[in-house]
Amino acid sequence: MWKLWSFNKRRQIARIEIEGAIDGRTRSRVLKAIQRVEEEQFSALLLRIDSPGGTVVDSHEIYQALKHLQEKDIPILASFGNISASGGVYIAMGASHIMSNPGTITGSVGVILRGNNLERLLDKVGISFKVIKSGPYKDILSFDRELTPSEQQILQSLIDTTYNQFVATIAEARKLSLATVHAFADGRIFTGEQALELGMVDRLGTEADARQWAAELVDLDPDEAKFVELGKPKKFGLLGRLIPGQQLWQRLRFELTTSGIPLWLYWP
């Protein structure tokens, strides 16, 4: 019975969707789904990405899990939706093949770290903080004061190191030179069509085209191949659709919880 079940899975293709900003909840959901792809021996994985990016560590762990899945000889096809930028691009580097819609917004290769400086507002309302710290940099990126020059140097070094990791990952995955990647990895965004010209993606097409390609990769009839949705992201319910600004609140929550954390992120 188990052998028959396992065989059936090998005739099916898993589909995992990465939607919205990539954070810890996205990572947890996607890693569990990727583990199922390996354990249940699906023939291939279609990774649908519609994301502006997100936190560095969460994006990197998803990328590493995809690389591990590739080592199990399971083809991975990344399909870009409306937007696949920054951390979305990084995750796609874990796929063996990449297809983008011609109009997809992609790129934004870079790292950003943001803090909130409320010093002038606090002065107006008469609020100040007394800080006792063990070292001069323990309260770096505090919201009640400006950064010092030495703090800026520390954070810039952190960003530069993370950025170089991003560039090296793209260069290795896409078989491009570091100089070639550096030429467009300056934070700019570009279309899927431009991404093809730059060597960032392999083909242009819709998700329907990606499904056909995924089936062909594992010698399945594209008209009969079964796609199984794994780890479906939670959608806004009826209440969420009725409350104005619900998606704006989700974005604000992400901004607040990631303040001071390096991000591979593009917000349109």
* Rounded Cα–Cα distance for residues 54 and 208 (Å): 26
Query: Is residue 232 within 8 Å of residue 226, measured between CB atoms?
Result: no
Among candidate residues 43, 86, 100, 108, the one labeled active-site is: 86
Give 52's contacts (C-beta < 8 A, 6+ positions apart). 20, 21, 83, 85, 86, 87, 88, 108, 265, 266, 267, 268
Report which residue type is found at 45: L
Both tokens assigned to 238: 């009826």
Residue 134 annotated in active site? no
What is residue 75's DSSP assignment?
Answer: -
Is 175 part of the annotated catalytic residue set? no
Q: Is 31 exposed, middle or buried (0-12, 13-18, 19+ CB in 10 A)?
A: middle
Choice among 6, 28, 133, 138 that is catalytic: 138
* Tokens of residue 151, six digits: 């703090």
SS3 content of the chain, % helix, strand, coil (to 5): 45, 20, 35
By annotation, the residues acting in catalysis are 86, 138
